[in-house]
């Protein structure tokens, strides 16, 4: 074999030499060193030296002559061997401390597959000398014979270019290394856990980014924070305090008082004092995340390179936001690059759901990359009140792990968080400073007047219509989709919009765009309007709900200042009676009863005027503590996940049951309304898979089970051609035989079957 390094390939499509791939990984490595200044390692210089060596060694096994034949498209006897196993033994020939060599061997061995897989691979494929009967070794590969197919002169020549030199020695079969680690992996109780975990993540990031053509990650610079200090108004007290505080904070201030700006001023302070780290701005809902991304990207003038977005509907969002009208040239390539950069380390500030971080502590495949990205970073939690007890338990475990092992600093923000919940989060954070808006600011936030009304909302359609006829912008919120659809049909307005969860992605995006227009004077919706939609109405009519949910709904009324001042208090009308089905939406009857008592008290004591500085008192009245069921749910998840993280989270060890545990918490199955089958098929045939997926509507697993048992949902398969590969693919999906249109959404009470003869 030749010793010319240019002729040894690392990849075949397109052809990339081994040296080129190593050089590209090292470009990423240099960028990472600047972006991760706060890694929690004892000796940063040593850590990064080991990562560099890991990069140089990780693909040496690809120089195996049969692997090279395979890459060149020639007949090869590679037998699906693992190149990592041939790369690892070269590390034994380094003049390094044994503990450093062990770390290197582990991260190189595990940079693609977990150790359980590698152990099975070795046992099934190689003569190990461990079988009692030698007959069972027949047909297996011989390690020494295979290592003869690697040209040691080539390796020596390649390594010399990186100033790395090897001692003469045979390539030792890594069976014992793999066996020992598979049987006793390094978990959080081991002193070497953190360093190994971060080294694993760093090497994987370098390899995967370089393989994806990404060689540089961005960092936050002074110019990205300039917009915070260009305002002509002086910062509020809580904003100023946040900008001066080094360390974790819990910040309480009214909705609309600039908490986002306060958190970024805090972030600016942390980076000046402590250095670069990736930032995660964490919100509970997709709509909130999309809106915040667009806002920050504009303010920080990031051009999609500084602020990223990450949630379960990322592909759909990018397809919608960066569509063909705006990017006609190389449109598909741009959207793909955006998606990859948002998912990768490229953007230093990501707006994300908590689940994008939580999944790393579940130990899902490749979690080491996620852990590395969080390390030395900054977490900003916004709308922290909006989660159920099980998710709060997961967030608490995440915060505990991140602050203990990863040197993460936390900013937790809230307008109205029950005191008992604040204590749960505070316990997880550890040391922190508490920052609250001053009394003067609270007194200036007089925006809402509560009116508690008798009866059902549906009995007061005429009252709502009168407000519309008088020229007011009206918001109506019900607790169920069906009720929202009925009320929407009952009201007349010059421009009205219905918003709820039973629209598909394409129609939902369209409606959210329409709401940005001042022409809309009636919005009817469900809990979907509680998220951070930047809308402003004159009056709200709402069915009863928990106090924190109602306050979010009220936040869409009298939202914007005019010449620095709010309008006089606007009416927030809450009806006392609930429909029978509401008990399935809000199951804690006590919370609803206490909420209505609090609203009556506000109405009698202060003519219904909501004093923002008194809301904490009422929140604590409504939520004095967990209910018995909530406490059980919280404790169960917290205890189980804490123990799993402590005992079972280990680099290079993945358990399939963790995938199931993580996924089962997302209640929803996507179905295609029958009327949309033709459009769905057209998108598939055009290979517009994201557009096809956006035709579907998500329904609960309970509703799905009920309908499929009654044959209201059935499974179908569409065949289409993959245009790039010229092959036929079959796409299974579920069709729901219920009425759907883009104005009302899915109407579960109306059957609608569309036969193929009508479609084609």
Q: What number of other Cβ atoms are within 10 A of residue 554's Cβ? A: 24
Cα 549 to its chain centre, rounded Å, is 23
The CATH number assigned to the domain with range 447-610 reads 3.40.50.300
CATH superfamily of domain region 222-441: P-loop containing nucleotide triphosphate hydrolases (3.40.50.300)
411-437 per-residue burial string, b: 16 or more CB within 10 A, e: under 16: bbbbbbbbeebbebbbebbeebeebbb
Per-residue pLDDT reduced to its tens digit, 157-177 = 999 999 999 999 999 999 999
Long-range contacts of 659-668 (CB under 8 A, 24+ apart): 659/364, 659/365, 661/362, 662/355, 662/358, 662/359, 662/362, 662/364, 665/390, 665/391, 666/312, 667/700, 667/701, 668/698, 668/699, 668/700, 668/701
In the sheet that holds 697-699, the strands lie side by side as: 697-699, 669-673, 727-736, 713-722
Q: What CA–CA distance (Å, rounded) separates 129 from 306?
A: 54
Q: In this structure, are residues 671 and 696 in contact, taking their beta carbons and an 8 Å threshold? A: yes
* Residues of the chain under the 70 pLDDT cut: 1-6, 131-136, 231-232, 313-342, 531-532, 755-760
Instruction: Give 169's DSSP letter.
Output: -
Q: What CA–CA distance (Å, rounded) separates 468 from 521?
A: 7
Residues of the chain with CATH 3.40.50.300: 222-441, 447-610
* pLDDT at residue number 534: 75
Q: What number of other Cβ atoms are within 10 A of residue 146's Cβ? A: 23
The label of the residue with tokens 């050089």 reads: 23
pTM for the whole structure? 0.91
- Beta strand 249-252 with 409-414 is parallel
* pLDDT at residue number 563: 73
* pLDDT at residue number 552: 87
Per-residue pLDDT reduced to its tens digit, 522-562 = 999 998 887 667 788 999 999 999 999 999 899 889 988 77
* Residue percentage of the chain with pLDDT more than 90: 70
What single string gives the DSSP state of each residue in 295-364? HHHHHTT-TTSSEEEESTTHHHHHHHHT-TTT--TTHHHHHHHHHHHHHTT--SEEEE-THHHHHHHTT-
Q: What CA–CA distance (Å, rounded) separates 90 from 190?
A: 26
Residues of the chain with CATH 1.10.3210: 5-211
For residue 310, which of 259, 275, 348, 271 has the smallest C-alpha distance? Answer: 348
Q: Say if domain 5-211 classifies as CATH 1.10.3210.
A: yes
489-501 per-residue burial string, b: 16 or more CB within 10 A, e: under 16: eeeebeebbbbbb
């Amino acid at each position: 074999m030749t010793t010319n390094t240019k002729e040894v390939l690392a990849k075949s499509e397109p052809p990339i030499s081994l040296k080129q791939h190593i050089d590209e990984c090292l470009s990423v490595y240099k960028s990472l060193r600047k972006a991760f200044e706060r890694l929690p390692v004892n000796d940063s210089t040593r850590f990064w030296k080991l990562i560099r060596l890991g990069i140089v060694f990780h693909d040496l096994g690809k120089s195996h002559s049969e692997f090279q034949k395979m890459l060149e498209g020639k007949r090869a006897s590679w037998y699906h061997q693992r190149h990592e196993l041939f790369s690892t033994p070269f590390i034994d020939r380094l003049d390094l401390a044994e503990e450093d060599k062990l770390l290197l061997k582990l991260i190189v061995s595990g940079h693609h597959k977990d150790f359980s897989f590698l152990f099975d691979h070795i046992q099934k494929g190689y003569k190990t000398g461990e079988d009692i009967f030698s007959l069972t070794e027949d047909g297996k590969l011989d390690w020494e014979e295979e290592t003869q197919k690697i040209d040691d002169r080539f390796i020596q020549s390649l390594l010399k270019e990186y100033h790395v030199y090897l001692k003469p020695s045979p390539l030792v079969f890594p069976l014992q290394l793999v066996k020992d680690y598979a049987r006793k992996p390094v978990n959080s109780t081991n002193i070497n856990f953190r360093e190994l975990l971060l080294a694993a993540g760093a090497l994987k990031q370098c390899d995967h980014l370089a393989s994806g053509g990404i060689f540089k990650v961005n960092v936050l610079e002074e110019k990205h924070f300039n917009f915070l200090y260009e305002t002509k108004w002086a910062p509020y007290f809580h904003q100023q305090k946040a900008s001066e505080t080094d360390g974790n904070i819990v910040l309480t201030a009214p909705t609309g008082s600039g908490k986002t700006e306060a958190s970024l001023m805090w972030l600016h302070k942390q980076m000046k004092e402590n250095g670069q780290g990736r930032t995660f701005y964490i919100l509970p809902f997709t709509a909130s995340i999309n809106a915040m991304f667009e806002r920050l990207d504009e303010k920080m003038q990031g051009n999609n390179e500084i602020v990223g977005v990450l949630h379960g509907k990322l592909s759909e969002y990018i397809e919608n936001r960066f569509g063909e009208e705006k990017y006609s040239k190389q449109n598909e390539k741009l959207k793909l690059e955006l998606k990859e950069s948002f998912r990768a380390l490229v953007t230093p500030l990501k707006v994300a759901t908590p689940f994008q971080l939580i999944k790393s502590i579940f130990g899902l495949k490749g979690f080491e990359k996620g852990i590395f990205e969080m390390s030395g970073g900054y977490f900003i939690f916004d709308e922290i009140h909006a989660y159920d007890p099980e998710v709060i338990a997961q967030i608490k475990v995440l915060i505990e792990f991140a602050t203990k092992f990863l040197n993460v600093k936390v900013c937790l923000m809230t307008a109205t968080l029950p005191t008992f919940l604040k204590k749960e989060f505070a316990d997880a954070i550890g040391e922190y400073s508490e920052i609250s808006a001053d009394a003067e600011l609270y007194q200036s936030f007089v925006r809402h007047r509560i009116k508690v009304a008798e009866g059902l909302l549906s009995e007061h359609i005429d009252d709502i219509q009168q407000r519309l006829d008088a020229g007011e912008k009206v918001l109506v919120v019900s607790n169920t989709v069906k009720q929202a659809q009925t009320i929407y049909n009952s009201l007349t307005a010059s421009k009205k919009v219905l918003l709820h969860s039973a629209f598909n992605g394409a129609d939902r995006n369209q409606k959210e765009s329409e709401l940005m227009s001042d022409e809309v004077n009636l919005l009817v919706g469900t809990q979907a309007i509680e998220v951070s939609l930047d809308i402003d109405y004159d009056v709200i009519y709402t069915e009863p709900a928990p106090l924190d949910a109602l306050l979010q709904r009220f936040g869409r009324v009298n939202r914007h200042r005019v010449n620095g001042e709010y309008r006089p208090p606007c009416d927030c009308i809450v009806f006392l009676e609930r429909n029978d089905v509401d008990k399935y939406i809000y199951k804690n009857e006590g919370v609803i009863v206490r909420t209505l008592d609090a609203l009556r008290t506000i109405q009698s004591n202060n003519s219904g005027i909501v004093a923002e500085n008194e809301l904490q008192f009422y929140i604590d009245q409504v939520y004095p503590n967990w209910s018995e069921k909530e406490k059980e749910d919280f404790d169960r998840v917290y205890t189980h996940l804490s123990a799993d993280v402590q005992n079972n989270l280990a680099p290079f060890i993945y358990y399939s049951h963790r995938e199931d545990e993580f996924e089962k918490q997302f209640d929803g199955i996507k179905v295609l309304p029958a009327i949309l089958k033709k459009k769905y098929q057209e998108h598939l045939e055009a290979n517009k898979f994201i557009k096809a997926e956006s035709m579907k509507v998500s329904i609960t697993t309970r509703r799905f089970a009920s309908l499929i048992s009654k044959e209201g949902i059935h499974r179908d398969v569409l065949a289409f051609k993959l245009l790039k590969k010229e092959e036929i693919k079959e796409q299974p999906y579920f069709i729901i035989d219920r009425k759907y249109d883009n104005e009302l959404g899915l109407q579960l009470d109306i059957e609608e079957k569309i036969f193929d003869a009508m479609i084609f």
